[in-house]
Structures are given as structure tokens and as C-alpha cells.
Amino acid sequence: MIRPVTPHDAAAIAALYNHYVLHTTASFEEEAVPVEAMRRRIEETAARWPYLVWEEQGRVKGYCYAHPWKERPAYRHTLETTVYLDPACTGRGIGTQLMHALIGECRGRGVHALVACITAGNTASRRLHRRLGFRQVSEFHEVGFKHGQWLGVVDYELRL
């Protein structure tokens, strides 16, 4: 079931996200995010932008949200997207359904474009975004360093 996030989801979202922070290069953060910090992030983002969760049997198994891509006023019609899933739930179409719902929410709010910044080696996320109609518009090499390796990022864009 897809539903809007609530501050009560902070612990579940922090646990899910921190897996990626600590064990993968999908996020460029390097330290686990405490629950209270995650709660503040959720409240700040959800107050202005779409933030959705996938819930199964009362447990958050994935989430996605949109937030400003850049701070300057001229970028106000473009948002960046973020999506994370419980690793045990990948390959089931949850990310696709979450992102379809997020894209619909953004369209309904008059957003003009969505941007996804993805670690270059994250083939699953790149595939997901291509299936959703995003197209790659940039690639940066060795702009991040995590887990002893240099990492590149690719930007994907979807014009609504």
C-alpha cells in the first residue's frame, strides 16, 4: 500500500536508509542518520513536497520523495527524486509503483521536471529510471569517495 509519510515512520525509514549509508555506495552519506534527525528531515520535506511510503503488514518497505533540486528561485519548477527500498523487497515492482505515484503527485503540483542523481554503478536504479521515462543527461567521474573507492554519478531527467 502506498501512503503519505508520517513522522512516526522515521525509525523505519532511518533503518532502511542506514543500510544503504553503511553498506553501499547508493548514498554518499557515510554515517548512520539518527532517528530524530531523520524525523526532522521527513517533517521538513513532507511539509512542502510529496513524500510517500510503501507499507506491507504495518511495516515500511520502501519510500520515495521529491525535494528542491537547486536553491536558486529559477529552479523552483524542478525537483530531485529519491527512492529507497528494503533490500529484501527489490525486484517486485515496488520502486516502480512508488515512483509512478510520486511522478503523478509532482505533475499534480505543476512541477516541470524531475532529476535523479544516481551513483554511476547503481545499475538497478538506472534501469528503474529509464523504465520510468527518465533519460540520462550527464555523467560525472570520480566526484565522490566512499568505501575506499572513487565514485561517479549520473543525472537523469524526466520532463513532465
pLDDT tens profile 148-158 = 999 999 999 99
Mean pLDDT by runs of 10 across the 160 residues of the chain is 97 98 97 98 97 96 97 96 95 95 97 97 95 97 97 98
Q: Which helix (H) or strand (E) holds 23?
A: helix 10-23
- CA separation for the pair 116, 66 (Å, rounded): 10
pLDDT of 4 reads 98
pLDDT tens profile 42-62 = 999 999 999 999 999 999 999
pLDDT of 23 reads 97
pLDDT of 59 reads 96
- CA separation for the pair 151, 160 (Å, rounded): 29
Asked whether the beta carbons of 156 and 137 are under 8 A apart, the reply is yes
Going along the chain from its start, the domains and CATH numbers come out as 2-117 (3.40.630.30)
